[in-house]
Amino acid sequence: MMNKAVPMNNDNPSIPQMIRAPFLSSIIAPLITGSLLAAAITGSLGVPAFILVLITGIGLHIATNVYNDIYDTIQGTDKVNVHRNEYSGGSGVLLDRPDLMKKMYALARSGLMIALITTAALLIFVNRSLWVYLGGLYLLSAFFSKFYTAAPVKLAYRGMGEISVWFAFGPMAVAIAAVSQNIFPDWRIFLLMPVSGISTLTILLVGQLIDLDADIKGGKHGVASRVGTRFTAILYIAVQILLIVDVAVMALLFPGRSWLLLISLLPYVLFFPKTAASIIKCHDDPDQLKAVAKSTVQIHLLFSILLILGFGVYLI
């Protein structure tokens, strides 16, 4: 929903640039870790269902990314953003190429349609008692993908962007992965749910600090525009610590060699202390915060990779 990158060349943007492909890790990580944990619980991984749920999540995230660009452009937020960078501020594709609006709509709708088809295919592999969860998660995800920024709901403009991002990339993503493997609900799944959503939320929080002026002018009411930059910086650190605690609890409570999950916290040992100090120091300086945004994305990507690796070894 917020993972935004500036294309290298907006004169002739490629489809990967238009869908912001490098940041699909935000949905891929919870889908893979949720599926691996479900496999660890049941003793086997349903490969066809895993492939289908992965396509479903990617389709929904593509729709989210593209709709976000479309409606932030239409509603003027991207137009007034002078701090656009590789990690925040929108892709800028439609600002440079407004003629691509129809193609962007087609990409977003294609993402939703592909996700709908694969969700329907999942019905073959999912127990009938879980169909209501599967259908509900698709519908809620499709709603978030468009109305995160689209009128009349505009969640991100009404102070609900943070909870939407956390919920979509955390609990919802892990839940649909578990449902696809016929293991929902389960206490271990619930413990995993918050982690990936928190990791993605941190990118949004830094982006809000950088994009604050544009968000205020465009009427986009995130935490930063409502309660200030210092509070947002403190919140950023608090949720990162919450993520660390959640992973530590899983490593402590899960049966077997769950200590292997602690490998995912390596980026928090290597990079987080410096990043935390920088965001407190530079919370009101958009230019200096661009380095914090880069570090945050690096922590997110490395954490996601290592968490997948940890669950993979844990499953074996």
**CATH for 15-315, among 1.10.357.140, 2.140.10.30, 3.40.50.720, 3.40.50.2000?**
1.10.357.140
Contact (Cβ atoms closer than 8 angstroms) between residue 90 and residue 69: yes
Quick: pLDDT tens for 23-63: 888 999 999 999 999 999 999 999 999 999 999 999 999 99
**Calpha distance 278→9 (Å, rounded):** 30
**Calpha distance 266→293 (Å, rounded):** 18
- pTM, 2 dp: 0.90
Show me where the domains of the chain are located.
15-315
- SS3 state at 91: coil
pLDDT at 4: 42
pLDDT at 211: 87
Give mean pLDDT, residues 172-194. Answer: 96
Angle subtended at Cα 101 by Cα 98 and Cα 105, rounded to the nearest 5 degrees: 165
